[in-house]
Structure 1
C-alpha cells in the first residue's frame, strides 16, 4: 500500500519570513506539463495564514465575491444553480465578517470567454439579494525582474 504524504511542514522564525522562499513540492501534480500556471490563494484569518495552490492550464481566471446577504437555503440554491455550470477551482465557503456574510469562489474562466457573458447574465438576475456581487479577472502576476 502506498503511503501518502498529505501535508508538508517546517518551523521558521517569524522575523525570517520576509526573506524566505517557500519550498513547495509540485511532484504530486498529475501531468505537470499540462499546467504551466499556478493559482495561489492566501487566506488570512486572525492568527492563521493558509495557502492553497492549484495547477492551471490558463493564465487568467475569474474571482466572484458575494457580500451582504442573509443566509438561507434559497440563496445558497440560487448561487449553486448558477455555479454548477462552471468549474470552481477554489471556494472560501460562507464566512461571517463584521456581521456580514461573504462567499468567494474562483472559476476556471476568463472574462473574454463567452461563458463569462452567460455568467454575468445569470448574476444580473439575482443581484438584488446581495449587497454586492463583484467579478474580477485574476491574471498572471508580473515577476519582479520585469
Structure 2
C-alpha cells in the first residue's frame, strides 16, 4: 500500500516563476502580483486563492488603469491547472473547481487593479478529483434532559 502522507503531515509549497515577457513597462504595468495559495482541510477539500494585481503606467495614449485591468484579467482566467503535487495525477483534463467568490479592487487614484478569486475542489481518498461538487455542512445536536 502506498502511503498518503498528506493526511498525516502538514505541508506547504511555494512556487515563484517569472517568464520572460510576462510583464514589463512596455505592457504599461509595474508591481505585478500573481500568487496562488492552496490549503487542504479535513475531508480533502482544498481551498485555492488566486490573487492578481498590477499598477498601471502611462504608456503612449493608453489609460494607465486600463493597462492594469488588461494585465490582471488576462491572468485571472480561472482555476484550470489543479495542483498535481496534491492530487498525484495529471490524468484527465476535466478536473472541476468551483468558484466560491471573486473580489475586485479598483484604486483609480493609484491606477491599481486587483482580483482575488477563491475556489474549492474535492479529492477522493484515492487522490482523484470529483466533479460532483463540494458539499459542506454544519450539524448541531442538542439534548435537553428536561424536555
Question: TM class by shorter-chain length?
Answer: under 0.3
The structure with the greater share of residues assigned to helix is 1
TM-score, with length taken from structure 2? 0.27
Larger radius of gyration: 2
